[in-house]
Amino acid sequence: MTKRFACAVGGGQCKWGVREASYLDMAQEAAKACLTDIPGLKHTDIDGLLFSSTFVGRRSTQVNTAPVIAERIGVKPTSICARVDVLCAGGSTGILLAKGLVESNMADIVMVLGGEKLYTPERWQVQYDEMAAVDHDWDGPQGVGPPPLWFSLQAREHMQHYGTTREQMAAVSVANYKYGINNPKGHFQKDLLLEDVLEATEVASPLGLFDCCPLSEGAAAVIVASEERAREMSDLPLVYLRGGAQVSMHSVTANWPGKHLGDWPHLRHAGEKAFQKSKLTPEEINVAQVHDCFSISQIIELEELGFCPKGEGGPFMQDGQTHVTGKIPVNTDGGLLSAGHPFGGTGIRQGVEIVKQLQGRATNQVKDAAFGLTHNLSGANVEHTIVVYGNEPVR
């Protein structure tokens, strides 16, 4: 039997930020942008829909959301119609699930669409709702929920063990905001100086305002299809889903799997699995999108994914190695820090950016990009999800 390969064909997103729009409005905008990006695709060709969102039921009072989305965007799924909830990794998880559906011959063309509507009914409630994203019996009552507090602890541990500096963390924000200037659909289009980051309002020491990603409203969509159907709908270079991994080694923060909070073995394990399945090494990745929910997270992720040695993520950033001409261009559309973070949409936005990079049509284009990677963490850093893309399949 001939092996079936899954491809990410193209995609799009609506404007991200604080929106005067419902989650249905934004889903429709993202679906339209996705279809516009693939002129050879008709909405009636799509036989599967995976909708990734965590707070849609809590904030928008709509459960069993996928059929509602399908009807509003004119899709009639015959292979899959389901919602995926993995918080920040919902989008990338949906892409991995779509890959499995296509390669197992259960679906031909799947739209993975995801996003969040957060600032209703009351904007102040968002931070309280995030308490529901951690272990509700153990961590929640201890106040672990608010992400800046948890990542400030991880930043302090990394600084203590590896000598990471406040300036090195600020370099992450400066680099990612620089990329984001050219992303009109991102949350922010702002040029930051190092001084802006260092002098910003403190959120949770040592993290300041620009070390933290915003909570954004918005949606994004991507099409995953079989190689044959991808060729029919687009003349652009094919982008294959080469592999991926998702690893969770704990839930309660007291059971942190590392030697200290600056040591992330669950990400290290996910990276090793993803590279093994995709038959690539970190050195072969040309462009990456990592989960920069906070500046410190990107530094640690670069280390654990093998893009630089452990403990050297700070100097790596300070030396400009994630710039478009650096060793490994990272978060080339602004990342979470600049583009924003509507949880369920983030992994999809990352995937669309990698697809465009590998097709040679990204705004901040990396020269001769052939292999790309996306990474998300979820909750209180309890899950890590990786998707690897390439211009040729794994044979």
Does position 323 have pLDDT exceeding 90, yes or no?
A: yes
- Phi first, then psi, for residue 218 (nearest 5°) are 160, 175
Q: Could you tell me which CATH class the domain 142-213+242-390 is placed in?
A: alpha beta
- Over residues 261-284, the pLDDT tens digits come to 999 999 999 999 999 999 999 999
Task: Please tell me if the domain spanning 6-123+217-233 has the same topology as the one spanning 142-213+242-390.
Answer: yes
Rounded CA-CA distance 338/292 in Å is 10
Domains of the chain: which residue ranges? 6-123+217-233, 142-213+242-390
pLDDT at 196: 98
pLDDT at 124: 75
- Arithmetic mean of pLDDT over the chain: 95
pLDDT at 1: 65
Among 3.30.300.30, 3.40.47.10, 3.40.50.2000, 3.20.20.210, what is the CATH number of 6-123+217-233?
Answer: 3.40.47.10
- Over residues 186-196, the pLDDT tens digits come to 999 999 999 99
Q: Which residues are catalytic, by number?
A: 88, 341
Stretch 355-365: mean pLDDT, rounded?
A: 98
pLDDT at 336: 98
Sign (positive or negative) of CA dihedral 131, 135, 136, 141: negative
> 211: Cβ–Cβ under 8 A, 6 or more apart, which residues?
169, 170, 172, 173, 197, 200, 203, 294, 295, 296
- Confidence bin at 121 (pLDDT 50/70/90): confident
Amino acid in the structure at residue 358: L
- Over residues 375-394, the pLDDT tens digits come to 999 988 999 999 999 999 99
339, two tokens: 């583009």
- Over residues 181-231, the pLDDT tens digits come to 999 999 999 999 999 999 999 999 999 999 999 999 999 999 999 999 999
- Confidence bin at 119 (pLDDT 50/70/90): confident
Rounded CA-CA distance 111/351 in Å is 13
